[in-house]
């Protein structure tokens, strides 16, 4: 079994599509703007990776059971830095200031931030974070946020 795609409830489909396409670089593969049935399929040139469903109000709550965060893997720390720059230029809220190692002293890690509905997201690389400046989490792992 493999992960197929992630479905996220959003409060404003247009705002979320702009964020995931213009800021994160996903391709819009399909869009329904039918009242009461608004959704968007996002991915790359081969498959859907994220589906956005406009069927919620308010913002994401980390206090309820469900999604903790959604993580996207990139090939290098330089890619993480490129995304970080673009996210900051767009005023995206960050959970930590800068890169965070997955474990204290570890070499994998990334940046943690929120989408327009407050859904927690991560962009990470498997190698290279340990040799770059990064934020300490004062714990065993970055996951307790």
In three-state secondary structure terms, 114 is strand
Instruction: Please give the structure tokens belonging to residue 24.
Output: 């994160």
Which run of H or of E encompasses 125? Answer: strand 120-125
Sign of CA dihedral 106, 118, 75, 131: negative
Which residues make Cβ contacts (< 8 Å) with residue 46, sequence separation at least 6? Answer: none
Nearest to 71 by CA among 37, 88, 95, 47: 95
140 Cβ neighbours under 8 A, 6+ residues apart = 103, 104
Average pLDDT rounded to a whole number, residues 8-13? 96
The H-or-E segment that residue 72 falls in is: strand 70-73
C-alpha span between 55 and 52 (Å, rounded): 9
Please tell me the least confidently modeled range out of 11-15, 20-24, 102-106, 109-113.
102-106
Percent of the chain, pLDDT > 70? 90
Q: pLDDT tens for residues 70-101?
A: 999 999 999 999 999 999 999 999 998 888 88
pTM of the model: 0.89
Task: Quote the percentage of the chain above a pLDDT of 90.
Answer: 68
pLDDT over threshold 80, residue 137: no
Residue bearing the bigger pLDDT, 121 or 144: 121
């Amino acid at each position: 079994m493999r992960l197929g795609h992630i479905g996220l409830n959003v409060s404003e489909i247009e705002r979320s599509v702009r964020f995931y396409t213009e800021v994160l670089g996903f391709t819009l593969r399909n869009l329904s703007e039918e009242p009461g049935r608004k959704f968007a399929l996002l991915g790359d040139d081969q498959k859907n990776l994220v589906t956005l469903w406009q069927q919620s109000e308010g913002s994401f709550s980390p206090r309820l059971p469900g999604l903790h965060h959604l993580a996207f893997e990139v090939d290098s720390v330089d890619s993480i830095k490129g995304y970080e720059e673009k996210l900051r230029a767009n005023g995206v809220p960050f959970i930590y200031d800068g890169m965070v190692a997955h474990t204290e002293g570890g070499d994998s890690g990334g940046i943690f931030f929120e989408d327009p509905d407050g859904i927690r997201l991560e962009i990470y690389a498997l190698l290279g974070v340990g040799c770059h400046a990064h934020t300490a989490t004062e714990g065993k792992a970055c996951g307790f946020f």
